């Protein structure tokens, strides 16, 4: 059986921890459609600006998003699109599991 070494396993687990928070999932999915300012993301998600900024800082530090300033506004964009792929895969897995559970309950 082929496995992965401890260091790679830790790197993967860290990436999952970075995206594994509900507000961060929502931020990543918002940014999949294009750049957005902190104010736009805050309004779109109905969240507190300070909270959004803190989570964006974590995503930025991890290399998931990039930021640039235009005037007084800071805009964010996805830098690592594999984060979206991970979330899409998780969503697909949940949908499949949901169908399986529904089928079991109908039997």
In a domain, 19, yes or no: yes
Cβ neighbour number for residue 43 with a 10 Å cutoff: 13
In a domain, 1, yes or no: no
Q: Three-class SS of residue 33? A: coil
Q: How many domains does the chain have?
A: 1
In a domain, 71, yes or no: yes
Across residues 58-75, what is the average pLDDT? 95
In a domain, 60, yes or no: yes
In a domain, 96, yes or no: yes
In a domain, 66, yes or no: yes
The pLDDT of residue 3 is 83
Higher-scoring residue by pLDDT: 65, 92: 65
The pLDDT of residue 100 is 78
- pLDDT single digits (tens) 8-48: 999 989 999 999 999 999 999 999 999 999 999 999 999 99
Task: Please report the sign of the dihedral spanned by the C-alpha atoms of residue 74, residue 75, residue 79, residue 81.
Answer: positive
The pLDDT of residue 97 is 81
Task: Please report the sign of the dihedral spanned by the C-alpha atoms of residue 23, residue 25, residue 31, residue 33.
Answer: negative
The predicted model scores a pTM of 0.85
Q: Which CATH number characterizes residue 92's domain? A: 1.10.10.10
Structural domain containing residue 90? 6-106
């Amino acid at each position: 059986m082929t496995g992965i070494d401890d260091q790679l396993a830790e790197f993967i687990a860290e990436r999952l921890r970075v995206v594994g928070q509900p507000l961060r999932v929502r931020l990543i999915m918002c940014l999949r459609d294009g750049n957005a300012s902190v104010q736009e993301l805050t309004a779109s998600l109905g969240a507190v600006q300070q909270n959004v900024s803190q989570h964006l800082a974590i995503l930025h530090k991890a290399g998931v998003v990039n930021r640039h300033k235009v005037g007084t506004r800071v805009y964010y964009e996805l830098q690592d699109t594999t984060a979206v792929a991970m979330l899409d895969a998780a969503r697909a897995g949940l949908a499949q599991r949901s169908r399986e559970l529904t089928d079991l309950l109908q039997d």
